[in-house]
Amino acid sequence: MTATRAVLIDLDGTLVDSAPDIAAAVNGMLHEWGRPALPLDTVKGFIGNGVPTLLRRVLACSAIDDGAHDGAYESALRAFERHYAATNGVSGRVYAGVPEGLRALRAAGLLLGCVTNKPGAATGALLARCDLTPFFDVVVAGDSTAFMKPHPAPLLYACRRLGVAPARCVLVGDSTVDVAAAGAAGMPVYIVRYGYPGPGGHARMTGAILIDSLAEMAPLLGP
């Protein structure tokens, strides 16, 4: 078995419970449209595939037809970005075991990368507000490459920047998006039992190793 040299980690739902902040921004945008607020659990189900997919799901759920409302998506995007700049990191919290897990991985000599579908500006702000920035050797955001997860491009780009072959990396995430991306990139995937797993939950996580906390990762990877 090839020794692991780097650990790539998802952000939303894996490192940080960011759904409250995202939901607040979504509902601020919907308020401008005169639409009712969406429940937190509904917004959680839309997280994971990047902002474009999130907003299109919100528009559909709120009966806002992009075809019938000229420029609805572009208007929603501008409003969401404005609201999220104010809510990002306000109510979201780092999950239990994350700081300890990151410190243990660093102490084991492993390189760390954060690979997320969140846009770069929002990613940098959230990592900084949660005091997570210093842990990472590389950060790959949703706008860092031409494709987002589940495409393997962000993971492969992170590997190149770290100078580590994909076979010597693992991904830690929370959703089927992460499972698919890791499979396409040819690396093992560990999935936390919390977060935003998406439709079907963990039952669809074929081939993934389930963990309760990031604090488990260093012992699992061994010396």
Looking at the annotation, which residues are catalytic?
Answer: 10
Chain centroid to CA 197: how far? 11
Structure tokens belonging to residue 29: 């945008």
Burial of 129 (0-12, 13-18, 19+ CB in 10 A): middle
Residues in CB range of 22: below 8 A, 6 or more apart: 12, 43, 47, 54, 84, 87
What span, in angstroms and rounded, lies between the C-alpha atoms of 79 and 41?
Answer: 21
Residues in CB range of 190: below 8 A, 6 or more apart: 170, 171, 172, 173, 208, 209, 210, 211, 217, 220
